[in-house]
Amino acid sequence: MKITKETVQILRTEINAMLQNLGALPCLQHLEGLDISAGHCSFDQDQADFKLSIKIKGAKSQSQKALDLYADHYGLDVSKIAKEQGKSFALIGYNYKASKYPFEVQDLATGKEYKISLDHAKSLFAKAVQNA
């Protein structure tokens, strides 16, 4: 038997199904507040290694945490809904490793996500200036 891409995809699906039901077992009820999943897999014909991710349910992702930090630094309003070309967009994340297009926005109608530059983010999501 050889491990193939299709085998890995089936295994990941089966592993994730089993991991979702862990909290239902009486001996593992303390895992109820955790989200556990099998992620990326590297494999060859003889061996497959899966990444196991464990996070607290409802916890913010890394890009959401980074957005909270950098949005204030750049003067952006994360609660603002921007309108452009007849579509509504929300600022949902920041990828600090991406120098050209670090901000992530989501089309609220379709759920599709896009990456935008700092200048574009400032033009769409700048905080309103209050005059005293």
Q: What is the pLDDT of residues 12-69, one digit of tens each?
A: 999 998 888 776 666 666 777 788 889 999 999 999 999 998 888 888 989 999 999 9
Domain identity same for 82 and 51: no
CA distances from 36 to 31, 57, 110 (A): 9, 9, 27
Reduced to 3 states (helix: H, G, I; strand: E, B; else coil), residue 29 is: helix
Last residue of one domain, picked from the residues 41, 56, 71: 56
Q: How far apart (Å, rounded) are the C-alpha atoms in residues 58 and 34?
A: 9
Query: Has residue 127 got a pLDDT over 90?
Result: no
Last residue of one domain, picked from the residues 38, 56, 74: 56
Number of C-alpha atoms within 13 angstroms, CB side, residue 127? Answer: 11
Domain identity same for 43 and 67: no
Helices (H), the chain: 5-20, 62-74, 118-125
Domain housing 112? 62-125
CB atoms within 10 A of CB 34: 15
Domain count, the chain: 2
Domain identity same for 115 and 87: yes
**Contact present, 78 and 68 (Cβ < 8 Å):** yes
105 or 34, greater pLDDT: 105
